[in-house]
Structures are given as structure tokens and as C-alpha cells.
């Protein structure tokens, strides 16, 4: 049963182009890492649901906020932990941003 957060068109998603086509492998890897791999195996053939799109966008914002806090020294953490935290958050944010890019591209061409 779908609702506004899980509803997607009944047709397959349109072919990806441009940036989304280059990012789909990163988006797929991110989805596997988050234990949310689509049944088809790739977002190239599966719609990004509205819930996934919103969650990924919120994740990008959260990653940016945490990176800013780490770099501003809010927690007064040792330099090595700041570096590790920044790298982890940047990777997480990049993966989430790739899902957002694919989801937006799907909707632009639908």
C-alpha cells in the first residue's frame, strides 16, 4: 500500500543523463551501505521514493552541519578525530547527495 511518501509512477523511471548518470553508481553504493538496496539492484531502473529523496536531502544538510561544527571546533576534539569525522561526514553527505541527484533527475524527465 503506497502513500505520498512511497508512491512512485507505475512506469519505469526515465533513462538517466548528465550528472545523475555519472552518480548512479555512487548512489547505488550508498543505498547498499544503508541497507536499502532496491529490488532491481540499481536506482537506474528503480524510482527514488519521495521518502528516500527527503531523507537523503536531510542527510546532506545534517552532514554539512556536523562538518561545520567539527571544523569550528565546537566540541574541542583532537585534530585526528576532527579529520576522521569530517571525512566520514563528507563521504556520507556525498552518497546522500548522489541519491538526491538521481531522484531529482528522475522527476525532471518524467
22 pLDDT higher than 90 = yes
As a whole number, mean pLDDT of residues 85-96 equals 97
The answer, as to whether pTM is greater than 0.85, is: yes
2 pLDDT higher than 80 = no
User: What span, in angstroms and rounded, lies between the C-alpha atoms of 49 and 11?
Assistant: 13
* 49 touches 3 (CB < 8 A): no
In this predicted model, what pLDDT tens digit does every residue of 26-81 receive, in sequence order?
Answer: 999 999 999 999 989 999 999 999 999 999 999 999 999 999 999 998 778 898 99
Q: Which residues contact 34 (CB under 8 A, 6 or more apart)?
A: none
* 52 touches 95 (CB < 8 A): no
1 pLDDT higher than 80 = no
Amino acid at each position: 500500500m503506497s502513500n505520498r511518501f512511497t508512491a512512485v509512477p507505475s512506469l519505469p523511471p526515465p533513462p538517466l543523463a548528465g550528472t545523475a548518470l555519472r552518480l548512479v553508481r555512487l548512489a547505488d553504493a550508498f543505498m547498499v551501505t544503508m541497507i536499502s538496496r532496491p529490488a532491481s539492484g540499481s536506482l537506474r531502473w528503480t524510482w527514488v521514493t519521495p521518502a528516500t529523496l527527503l531523507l537523503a536531502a536531510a542527510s546532506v544538510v545534517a552532514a554539512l552541519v556536523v562538518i561545520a561544527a567539527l571544523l569550528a571546533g565546537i566540541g574541542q576534539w583532537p585534530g585526528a578525530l576532527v579529520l576522521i569525522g569530517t571525512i566520514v561526514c563528507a563521504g556520507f553527505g556525498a552518497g546522500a547527495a548522489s541519491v538526491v541527484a538521481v531522484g531529482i533527475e528522475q522527476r525532471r524527465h518524467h
